[in-house]
Amino acid sequence: MITKVIFGNPYPTEAVVQPVAQAAQLKHFAVGVDYGLIFTCPLDENEVVYGLGETTGKMNKRGGRYISFNTDTADHSDSNPSIYASHNLLVLEKRNFCIFFDTPGRVDFLIDWNSSGKIEVICPKDVTVYQVEADSTYAAIREFLFAIGPAYLPPRWAFGYGQSRFGYKCEQDFLDVLKGHQDAGLPLDYICMDIDYMDGYRDFTVDASRFPDLKAFSERMLQDGIHLVPIVDAGIKVDPGEPVYEDGVKQDVFCTNKEGKLFQGGVWPGMTHFPDFLNPKARKWFGQQYRFYTDRGIEGFWNDMNEPALFYTEYTKGPKKLGLALDFIFPRLRKKVKERNMIRDYQSFFHHVDGKKICHYDVHNIYGSNMIRATSEGLAALLDHRYLIFGRSSYIGAGRYGGVWTGDNTSCWEHIMLNMRHMASLNMCGFLYCGADTGGFMGNCTRELLLRWLAVSAFTPLMRNHSSMGTRAQEAYRFGDPEAFRKVLSLRYRLLPYIYSEYMKAALGSDLYIKPLAFAFPADEKVKAIEDQLLVGGSIMIAPIVEKDATVRTVYLPEDMTQVCYDGKDFYCTPCSQGEHQVEIPYDQVVFYIRKGKLLPVGKAATNSREVTVDDLVLLGDGESYELYWDDGITRDCTQGNVKVLKKDF
Ligand code: MIG
């Protein structure tokens, strides 16, 4: 049962879309007054707390301090309390209870912080608190997912493998990436275009010297089954004479500053105006601009810098040379100054909704979400079928409009684990289409790291290799003999019928695509501490190697399962009994498990999602039937009617 308690006069975030009855009071939590409100809940020893979607720290949030305040940062270490997203959901596993603090302002979560033995949530005084009680934690989450509305449905090609890099600059770079994959026999479905495709970093433009005919080029790539996926940033360059800018000013769709003029913030293009995404008219205006791309045959996008990220503003100066030097000499002082500037900047611009002027700082955490929404609604109006959209900054509810990627991670082993934790936590918050920069964005990737990482992201809906300029080349064909990469990547395409089917069933049925073991085995105390094994769809459990130099790991099976070893060609199935196992996994193989009584359909190898069919699926596992969702992968008409039951012939 889901109920809500309203405190003050909260801003409507539109996170929850189903009607919810009011309750007289909160369960489990007491409320007090801090500088806003403080909600507290005593915790039993060892009680597990899940939730918070995309944050730092572990999947079990106990012991940490997390601040919902969307921030552009490449520091994803446990000491950093704020990254790109605000997903204010806590899941009290032992009590079959979840609670969502719905406010667009800053929220601090102290979860057994300093061994306090309690949860403390410090919120603005205007907040709607939703609580869900059910017979199991899993049922409670599903009820929450139903309340926030169905998850976004991407086209099937979005489940293919994507290649990206900050630094691809011209047509030839993209042709090289295509050829690199083709020559090495590696599959590929899309290539992302980072900010260098634009004319001076202006959204809705293309640099004609580097892309003389974008339409012809996108059509040429599509002949090879490759979709181009350009980036679109939040800010619009202040650029008198430029049509998008002029129209935005004329239509009055930008945020204003303290003086009532249009606010100016410095990002990649220099000074920009920020579209007032909270205002429906501005959302519509921004969405319509995507015609620039759809007219050129482009149907996939990523939205960046939508926290919004600010390098400097008209009120606070940017990192000039001296500032940059200070970054190194007094890093902590610089960090403090930057934080102070950030708060000051967010306090100095304003939204206008329904005739009301709203300070950005108070609604900061829903800005990014509303950009994704603007993009998604714009594309829905421009196209008659599905499109790809994922963004960086988000708030609960944005999972209806698009997916997310988890921002500027690093090529390090710890971030494969962070990737796994994020996938489970994001799913709880309704973000089903998600993934990390496979191989890591910052820093230099190694052959081993990329192979192990691919063996994890082979199971995440968004499977994209992305890296920053200046780092080691990270395409799968850049590490010598591509054989091992071919093997691992071929698994993705052989699993595509399953991945697509499980995703679509989850999205259409208010379910999670990836979940922690504890949701399926609530009585098993052992699984509560396991974060390096996850359930993917209804049939699979993954237990990858995420440690440097390791080729063996301990896997815990909460029930008897079928172990599947994939060597790039064949699937070797072995029954495995409940309990602990030492499992060897060479770098060029993937080992995973099929749950008891379940089946896994696997298809033929393919180098592009266009080739994937369900005509001759092989069913692995000891189950009797599998419900396969399959459609044409692009029309919007997605219903449970597309499910058919496959039975195993004995
Ligand atoms: O200030 O567009 O997270 O994926 O490559 C950095 C350049 C801006 C941050 C994104 C990253 C992207 C990069 N962007």
Contact 316, 263 (CB under 8 A): no
- Tell me which residues are annotated as active site: 304, 307, 408
Tokens of 232: 């679109």
Tokens of 549: 């130099």
Tokens of 91: 């899941």
Contact 171, 145 (CB under 8 A): no
How is 541-582 classified by DSSP, letter by letter?
A: EE----STT--EEEEEESS-EEEEEE-SS-EEEEEE-SEEEE
Q: Report percent pLDDT > 90 for the chain.
A: 95
Strands 540-542 and 161-163: unpaired
Over 80: is that where the pLDDT of 420 sits?
yes
CA 171 to ligand 1 center in whole angstroms? 20
Q: Which CA distances in Å does 545 have to 4, 418, 437, 455, 589?
A: 42, 13, 18, 9, 11
Of the listed ranges 31-40, 392-401, 498-507, the least confidently predicted one is 31-40
Strands 403-405 and 388-391: parallel
Ligand 1 neighbourhood includes 304 CB (under 6 angstroms): yes
Mean pLDDT of 158-174: 98
Over 80: is that where the pLDDT of 319 sits?
no
Closest to 237 (Cα-Cα) out of 264, 277, 210: 264
Query: Any residues with CB less than 8 A from the CB of 238 and at least 6 apart, and which?
Result: 245, 262, 264, 270, 271, 272, 273
Mean pLDDT of 384-395: 98
Strands 463-465 and 161-163: parallel
- Confidence tier at 169 by pLDDT (50, 70, 90): very high
Ligand 1 neighbourhood includes 408 CB (under 6 angstroms): yes
Q: Which CA distances in Å does 536 have to 146, 247, 500, 584, 619?
A: 20, 46, 12, 21, 17
- pLDDT score recorded for residue 339: 82
Over 90: is that where the pLDDT of 304 sits?
yes
- Confidence tier at 34 by pLDDT (50, 70, 90): confident
- Confidence tier at 637 by pLDDT (50, 70, 90): very high
Which atom of ligand 1 is the closest one to the Cα of 165? 5
Ligand 1 neighbourhood includes 231 CB (under 6 angstroms): yes
pTM attached to this predicted model: 0.97
CA 437 to ligand 1 center in whole angstroms? 11
Higher per-residue confidence, 160 vs 321 = 160
Which atom of ligand 1 is the closest one to the Cα of 408? 3
Ligand 1 neighbourhood includes 301 CB (under 6 angstroms): no
Task: Give the DSSP H/E element, type plus range, for residue 285.
Answer: helix 280-288
Q: Where are the alpha helices (DSSP H) in 442-541?
A: 447-457, 483-508, 517-520
Ligand 1 neighbourhood includes 132 CB (under 6 angstroms): no
> Residue 612, SS3?
coil
What's the whole-number average pLDDT of the chain? 96
- pLDDT score recorded for residue 146: 98
Which atom of ligand 1 is the closest one to the Cα of 233? 2
Q: Which CA distances in Å does 641 have to 152, 630, 637?
A: 18, 10, 10
Tokens of 339: 């934080």
* CA dist., res. 612 & res. 540, Å (int): 20
- pLDDT score recorded for residue 320: 59
- In this structure, is the dihedral angle defined by the CA atoms of residues 312, 315, 321 and 322, taken in order, positive or negative? negative
Mean pLDDT of 113-124: 98
Over 90: is that where the pLDDT of 560 sits?
yes
- Confidence tier at 564 by pLDDT (50, 70, 90): very high
Q: Where are the alpha helices (DSSP H) in 383-482?
A: 414-428, 447-457
Ligand 1 neighbourhood includes 195 CB (under 6 angstroms): yes
Could you read off the pLDDT of 439-462 as tens digits, one per residue? 999 999 999 999 999 999 999 999
- pLDDT score recorded for residue 341: 87
Nearest CA to ligand 1 atom 6: 305
Tokens of 404: 């997310």
Q: Which of 197, 304, 390 to mutate to test the pocket of ligand 1 (most atoms within 8 A of CB)?
A: 304
- pLDDT score recorded for residue 3: 98
Could you read off the pLDDT of 338-365 as tens digits, one per residue? 888 889 999 999 999 999 999 999 999 9
- pLDDT score recorded for residue 340: 84
- Confidence tier at 650 by pLDDT (50, 70, 90): low
Mean pLDDT of 80-95: 97
CA 549 to ligand 1 center in whole angstroms? 30
Mean pLDDT of 266-287: 98
- pLDDT score recorded for residue 323: 62
* CA dist., res. 383 & res. 375, Å (int): 12
Burial (CB count within 10 angstroms: exposed 0-12, middle 13-18, buried 19+), residue 260: exposed
- Confidence tier at 330 by pLDDT (50, 70, 90): confident
Closest to 283 (Cα-Cα) out of 381, 177, 193, 387: 381
Owner of token pair 């009994």: 577
- Confidence tier at 317 by pLDDT (50, 70, 90): confident
Length of the chain: 650
Apex 443 CA angle, 442 and 445, nearest 5 = 110
* CA dist., res. 164 & res. 300, Å (int): 13
CA 422 to ligand 1 center in whole angstroms? 19
* CA dist., res. 517 & res. 555, Å (int): 12
- pLDDT score recorded for residue 201: 98
Q: Which CA distances in Å does 618 have to 234, 593, 648?
A: 45, 16, 9
> Residue 36, SS3?
coil
- pLDDT score recorded for residue 444: 98
Which atom of ligand 1 is the closest one to the Cα of 468? 5
CA 166 to ligand 1 center in whole angstroms? 7
Could you read off the pLDDT of 594-604 as tens digits, one per residue? 999 999 999 99
Which atom of ligand 1 is the closest one to the Cα of 392? 3
